[in-house]
């Protein structure tokens, strides 16, 4: 019996791509570069600021790993812009609100487990109006480990007093499924999320793949 549903944040619970894309394009314009098409940015959003700056400015793996001076400056600028515009266009995905209402009506807890740092997660959840409704919100810096380590998911279960085997985890990235499986949860891949063209979600090992949040109901 499922007693709790946990969601990844970007690309699973909330469609944050419009605001992150706008922030990246503002940085590009400030640096004298042409903005990128939204369709090019959207699939990369789940991988955070590092991946977005790498996309926009074509940094090599070596430059990223060595935290090239320009790279870190641009990444910080992106995050500053994003923080100040964090909920301009961001909404939960279609079907999420209806699902949350049903979960709450049936006393099934729900929460967020994301790699997004708390200083971004907390204001976003607050501005969207979900902070008080969530049974737990675990950010990328809440615990010592981050996904794909199962630690954050196990900690979330401890907070809401349920076993991992009683929990469903939904995510749109391979690290979400790896973490959920390692924690002993039922895992669902959100195909409506930010999945890149070269990704192979069918190989991630999730218990199922879903195209819309309403499909989550059948797993409860």
| 169-214 residue pLDDT tens | 999 999 999 999 999 999 999 999 999 999 999 999 999 999 999 9
3-class secondary structure per residue, 46-76: HHHHHHHHHHHHCCCHHHHHCCCHHHHHHHH
- What whole-number percentage of the chain has pLDDT above 70? 97
Q: How sure is the predictor about 66, in pLDDT bands with cuts at 50, 70 and 90?
A: low
The alpha-carbon radius of gyration of the chain (Å, integer) is 17
Cα 75 from Cα 82, distance rounded (Å): 11
Domains of the chain: 4-15+91-219 (3.40.50.1000), 17-84 (no CATH)
> Alpha-carbon distance 137 to 7, whole Å?
10
Residue-wise DSSP of 85-123: TTTSS-EEPTTHHHHHHHHHHTT-EEEEE-SS-HHHHHH
Which are the catalytic amino acids? 8
For the four alpha carbons of 50, 51, 52 and 57, in that order, the dihedral sign comes to positive
Task: Dump pLDDT digits (tens) for 16-27.
Answer: 999 999 999 999
Query: Does the pLDDT value for residue 30 go beyond 90?
Result: yes
Q: How confident is the model at residue 123 (pLDDT cuts 50, 70, 90)?
A: very high
pLDDT in tens, 134-168: 999 999 999 999 999 999 999 999 999 999 999 99
């Amino acid at each position: 019996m499922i007693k709790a549903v946990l969601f990844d944040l970007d690309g699973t619970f909330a469609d944050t791509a419009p605001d992150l894309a706008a922030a990246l394009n503002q940085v590009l314009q400030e640096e004298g570069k042409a903005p990128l098409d939204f369709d090019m940015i959207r699939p990369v959003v789940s991988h955070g600021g590092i991946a977005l700056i790498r996309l926009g400015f074509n940094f090599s793996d070596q430059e990223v790993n060595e935290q090239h001076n320009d790279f870190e400056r641009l990444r910080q600028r992106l995050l500053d812009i994003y923080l100040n515009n964090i909920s301009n266009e961001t909404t939960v995905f279609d079907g999420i609100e209806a699902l949350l209402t049903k979960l709450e009506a049936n006393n099934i807890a729900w929460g967020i487990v994301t790699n997004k740092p708390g200083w971004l997660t907390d204001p976003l959840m607050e501005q969207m109006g979900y902070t008080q409704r969530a049974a737990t919100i675990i950010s990328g810096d809440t615990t010592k480990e981050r996904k794909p380590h199962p630690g954050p998911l196990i900690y979330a279960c401890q907070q809401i007093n349920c076993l991992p085997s009683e929990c469903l985890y939904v995510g749109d990235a391979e690290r979400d499924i790896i973490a959920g499986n390692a924690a002993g949860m039922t895992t669902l891949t959100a195909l409506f999320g930010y999945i890149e063209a070269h990704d192979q979600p069918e190989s991630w090992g999730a218990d199922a793949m879903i195209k819309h949040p309403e499909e989550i109901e059948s797993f409860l």
